[in-house]
Structure 1
């Protein structure tokens, strides 16, 4: 029996959809603006250029989110995906930017996106490397890797008062509020628990005088897209670095799609993976043109689906429209940025923990053999190692750091390799997935 309130193809009422879409917007916004802020700070860009990067990132994320959810021909996985910039690109972007500036980052991203576009045609073969034991491990690792992000938000680790007990109290208050709304709320109240929890936490912080509207006052009302605003250059070293980052992102995005499949009760076939990865690649090329960093599927929004039971891709398509508006109307984005990090941390901890729960549920259905236990234990252990102690790789060659810095990528690669080398190799049954997914795919193409 389905646990979803709205399935992938369901269309909730318009007002309900807008409220539900806002949850995904709030869950993703911090991650979308974080990369331009980090890269801009590392390159010591002027404030106006950082603002231009942020607006472009919101616009690019919105356009590609809409395409990924609704689909355009063979492009788009047609699931509730929110797109944003993965931190897998940050290291490469900074190294390229320090030598060639933003034009080199954008040019290298444009060429590097071909790696993802070409790779999308091999996803049916890659899908066979993800049997249930590997998929469950990757989904669990996604949740475990995101929990530290929520904890940093909760403690406001990078703010003026990191680890202040007041920050933790606000995060705990929001967490308890979301739990209460999910458990005891009915209908739209339960379904919109995340956005309601954040709204209540925001009001509390406003009453405590913790929110400043200085950024909102400074932001312009309207800003047109600026294609090729920074220009483009194509350094060979930069193209190589970004191409490696795109290869890493293919692994991360595959894991995110697997997690989304579990959350939306949808079979993820090789064909469907191809459509999703192709959208990531084409979307990243488009993002470069509008002067935005490359994009990939955000795993944190899988937690919203798992928590609320709202799997409608049409709801998240509205999130894409909201992101576009935030990019076109900077005051909107600036207002959302005023949400205190501890408020996001409380809600984020709940959402990301739900991904862990989904992964554990998948692993509970895996046959409990010595072989599967080894794959799960070693992959999760290695993934947690670089998540909890990222400095482990600080003395390693730059290529190794680029590939293995993410706990998601480390866990996924270790699980895939162990499944290949240990006796009794498992291969995901693609034909079975295709058969089970056929009715839904037929509805989508009708």
Structure 2
């Protein structure tokens, strides 16, 4: 079993912690900023309101990340979790916003977060729905669903006129090879910092080639304090229903992310621990709504950073939360990070997300080889991939169906859980797995 470089409770030296925290920041920042930009663009908001959404998203994500990592009473899983605005809410958010504006999105999110808060109290029961075969499927689908994102980054960004140009692929390939070399042959902090070093070198190469656009940096304010209730709140019934469905789906996705994180950090994930994490997601989303930010959830891509680097310290990721908070107060810092070309992120991202796939495959390799388990694994991954690689599959279905089944992670998880419950031969006694067997899962793939 490979040893972690830094365990969950370890506190690396200050400068080392900053460097390691920066890796998580780079992995998450684009996603956090993208959601308010997409929503703002769809609603045709003026520039100053989009900036306000971005600042609030960064500040809210930073504060909730700190709480998730450090814990406040029963809130927070106390593992290296980066929290951020989630694309799981984009579809519902835009549909609500087009009719009721940003106040409708935020008010619906505030009420909808109760679904996650209440759901957290049922996590010991929900945990029993995730035996080894189901957990392995969910972890694998997280990696498989994120990999196309990295491919789009590597090619230059989905929808870009320069998509797939040889220059983009060359830069992504260079960063990928550099990260591989640093992980394989680097020692100590060099290996642990492979992602941030690879991105930094790739950035310098792009700078020398004149591929960096500093326009956003020039227009970003140096300092700005997000205002609570900046847009106000409204509570349309249709919006509350839509957001509640999105939160229900997010419980399934976040549970899978936590299971993957448990494997990466060699930590048992009993129901009570999951409950603290889900509660933080719910309370954090309510707080984010009051801060004028879209809802937040645990970022799966940062599990890839942990898997790749062996740095599982929750205190390092809490520092990432501090950096996000500062980015919300100093928008120019966030704008500077956003100048990183997508091919650079793609090279590093492909490595990180593929590590999650690897972890899932190793977990599935430890599952008992029976016809029943084979059916669960094959059908659920097949259905999850169908939605991931062909999202237009759902284009003719009602909006409600697209909201629930729009994510390959969710589809894979729901199919796996359903088959596990319906197929004959299901183990009856889950007590052992709940209390002790979970640690075996966590360690099998370490």
TM-score by length of 2: 0.96
Match of 1:278 in 2: 279
Matched, 1:256 2:254: no
- Name the CA distance, whole Å, in 2 between partners of 1:428 and 1:192: 43
SS at match of 1:225: coil
Question: Could you tell me how far 1:159 is from its partner in structure 2?
Answer: 3.1
* Displaced runs of 4 or more, over 2 A: 157-160, 426-438
SS at match of 1:400: helix
Question: Could you tell me how far 1:165 is from its partner in structure 2?
Answer: 1.4
Match of 2:354 in 1: 353
Match of 1:381 in 2: 382
SS at match of 2:393: helix
Contact 1:75 1:278 in 2 (8 A): yes
Counterpart mapping for 1:32-431 below 5 A: 32-156=32-156, 157-426=158-427, 429-431=430-432
- Name the CA distance, whole Å, in 2 between partners of 1:398 and 1:349: 31
SS at match of 1:307: helix
- Name the CA distance, whole Å, in 2 between partners of 1:162 and 1:173: 17
Contact 1:146 1:352 in 2 (8 A): yes
Question: Could you tell me how far 1:158 is from its partner in structure 2?
Answer: 3.2
Deviations 1:313-359 (Å, cap 9, x if unpaired)? 00000000000000000110010010001100110000000000000
SS at match of 2:159: coil
Give the number of equivalent residue pairs.
438
Question: Could you tell me how far 1:30 is from its partner in structure 2?
Answer: 1.2
- Name the CA distance, whole Å, in 2 between partners of 1:425 and 1:27: 39
SS at match of 2:396: coil
- Name the CA distance, whole Å, in 2 between partners of 1:144 and 1:221: 38
SS at match of 1:222: coil
SS at match of 1:84: strand
- Name the CA distance, whole Å, in 2 between partners of 1:284 and 1:128: 25
Identify the range of structure 1 (369-378 vs 79-88) with the bigger mean alpha-carbon deviation.
Answer: 79-88
Question: Could you tell me how far 1:3 is from its partner in structure 2?
Answer: 2.3
SS at match of 1:367: coil
Question: Could you tell me how far 1:429 is from its partner in structure 2?
Answer: 3.3
SS at match of 1:296: strand
Identify the range of structure 1 (422-431 vs 29-38) with the bigger mean alpha-carbon deviation.
Answer: 422-431
- Name the CA distance, whole Å, in 2 between partners of 1:381 and 1:66: 36
Identify the range of structure 1 (215-224 vs 260-269) with the bigger mean alpha-carbon deviation.
Answer: 215-224
Q: Structure 1: state its 5+ residue gaps.
A: 439-446
Contact 1:136 1:362 in 2 (8 A): yes
Counterpart mapping for 1:16-31 below 5 A: 16-31=16-31
Change (3 A) 1:60 1:427: farther
Q: Structure 2: state its 5+ residue gaps.
A: 440-446
Match of 2:443 in 1: none
Question: Could you tell me how far 1:292 is from its partner in structure 2?
Answer: 0.5
Question: Could you tell me how far 1:57 is from its partner in structure 2?
Answer: 0.6
Question: Could you tell me how far 1:431 is from its partner in structure 2?
Answer: 4.5
- Name the CA distance, whole Å, in 2 between partners of 1:353 and 1:68: 25
Question: Could you tell me how far 1:168 is from its partner in structure 2?
Answer: 1.0
SS at match of 1:75: coil
Deviations 1:257-296 (Å, cap 9, x if unpaired)? 0000000011101000100000000000000011100000
Question: Could you tell me how far 1:425 is from its partner in structure 2?
Answer: 1.1
Question: Could you tell me how far 1:214 is from its partner in structure 2?
Answer: 1.7
Question: Could you tell me how far 1:196 is from its partner in structure 2?
Answer: 0.2
Deviations 1:395-445 (Å, cap 9, x if unpaired)? 11111110000000000000000000000113683445435789xxxxxxx
- Name the CA distance, whole Å, in 1 between partners of 2:342 and 2:160: 9
Contact 2:52 2:226 in 1 (8 A): no
Match of 2:7 in 1: 7
- Name the CA distance, whole Å, in 1 between partners of 2:327 and 2:428: 43
